[in-house]
Amino acid sequence: MFQTYHANDDDQSSYHTLIKLDGTIFYIVPPDKRAFGAGNSVFASTRGIEGVKTNRLFPPSVNNFAYHISFESPVDGRGNGRSHSGYTDAQYKSAAWLVARTGVPEERVTTHKGVDRSRTRIDPRSFDMNKFRQYLSAFPKTQEILIGCPTAAPTVNPPDGAF
């Protein structure tokens, strides 16, 4: 899908970065540009339900303020299975290094599964959030990577339990 143009917003997927199995980071979409990695999504925070509406035909999403990281899947994960053997330590270290440079507070780090309104997404499959957080704690937090579209701030709705 990275090589194919998709005119339909509902059919797009993109990420700011891709992390290979060996930990190599590929920068795909600049961090201040919108990536379509989260689709129909909202972020539930202590401030409420957050999302940005950019297309009148679609509900709000986190795409304008999220930093999308994709992981190369191991060979046994290439398909539609619910799990695989897991990501490599090199991938976790690279992801933690990258996230530490965004200045995003740890409580705002989530997965696609965590923001998906349909509750059908399971990615990243076999992701070990505890392992990721352990690596993240080892890196100094900076704001070298400025994320989010500058013209679209998140809309916050009070939490009501309904996505």
Please state, in angstroms and rounded to a whole number, the distance separating the CA atoms of residues 129 and 119: 18
Tell me what pLDDT residue 12 has: 58
Q: What is the pLDDT of residues 44-97, one digit of tens each?
A: 988 888 988 877 877 888 988 899 999 998 988 877 788 889 999 999 999 999
Do residues 86 and 130 make contact, with C-beta atoms less than 8 angstroms apart?
no
Total-model pTM: 0.82
Q: What is the pLDDT of residues 102-161, one digit of tens each?
A: 999 999 999 988 998 888 888 888 999 999 999 999 999 999 998 876 655 555 554 444
- From 108, 98, 121, 137, select the one nearest 20 (Cα to Cα): 98
Query: What are the residue boundaries of the structural domains of the chain, listed by start?
Result: 10-163
Q: What is the pLDDT of residues 109-120, one digit of tens each?
A: 999 889 988 888
- Give me 64's structure tokens: 């304008």
Indicate the fold that domain 10-163 takes in CATH.
Lysozyme-like (3.40.80)
